[in-house]
């Protein structure tokens, strides 16, 4: 029986749309983000404290390999948010925070950003897209 199934598959081009008749693995290029408990609690506390305004912060950590990002800490960014938007990162404040981190002996780098949408659900506004694009100019994986 197994032989007849193989014969049918080979006559039909391999089945499942595979013209060569050989299964090919699909490479997994998805990224895994590992967020420490400390970072998660700080993000949740920051978001909750900002209600009803949106808040924003930067995630610190490392790019472990091509597919893994490790977030170990975060820091809140000062910004003036409204009910539906939050202004982009203040580059002066960001640089000051990174300089202070180096002074304290911490070697983490900015690996991404976060912000809240209190009561609005999960979606990307035009401002969010612009913020993401500006981070990608600094590092394509942010």
CA 10/CA 19 separation, integer angstroms: 9
Tell me which residue of 97, 102, 47, 41 sits closest to 73, measured CA to CA.
Answer: 41
- For residue 64, CA distances in Å to 5, 6, 36, 108 come to 45, 43, 14, 11
Task: Please work out, in degrees rounded to the nearest 5, the angle formed at the alpha carbon of residue 136 by the alpha carbons of 117 and 42.
Answer: 40
Cβ(116)–Cβ(47) below 8 Å: yes
CATH code for the domain defined by 24-138: 3.40.140.10
pLDDT at residue 78, as a whole number: 79
Lowest average pLDDT, out of 32-46, 59-73, 81-95, 106-120, goes to 81-95
pLDDT at residue 70, as a whole number: 98
| Res 17 pLDDT > 60 | no
pLDDT at residue 23, as a whole number: 83
Q: Domain limits of the chain?
A: 24-138
Q: How many CB atoms lie within 10 A of CB 61?
A: 21
Question: Can the peptide bond before residue 8 be classed as cis, meaning omega within 30 degrees of 0?
Answer: no
Query: Residue 111: pLDDT band by 50, 70, 90 thresholds?
Result: very high
Cβ(73)–Cβ(114) below 8 Å: no
Query: Residue 43: pLDDT band by 50, 70, 90 thresholds?
Result: very high
For residue 32 the two structure tokens come to: 């895994």
pTM here?
0.70
The 10s digit of each residue's pLDDT in 21-39 is: 578 888 888 899 999 999 9
């Amino acid at each position: 029986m197994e032989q007849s199934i193989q014969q049918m598959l080979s006559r039909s081009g391999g089945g499942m749309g595979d013209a060569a008749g050989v299964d090919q693995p699909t490479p997994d290029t998805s990224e895994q983000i590992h967020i420490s408990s400390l970072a998660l609690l700080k993000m949740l506390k920051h978001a909750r404290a900002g209600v009803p305004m949106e808040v924003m912060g930067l995630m610190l950590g490392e790019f472990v390999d091509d597919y893994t990002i490790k977030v170990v800490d975060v820091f809140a960014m000062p910004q003036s948010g409204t009910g539906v938007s939050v202004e982009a990162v203040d580059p002066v404040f960001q640089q000051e925070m990174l300089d202070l981190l180096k002074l304290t002996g911490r070697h983490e780098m900015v690996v991404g950003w976060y912000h809240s949408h209190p009561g609005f659900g999960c979606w990307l506004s035009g401002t969010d897209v612009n913020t993401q694009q500006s981070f990608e100019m600094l590092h394509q994986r942010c």
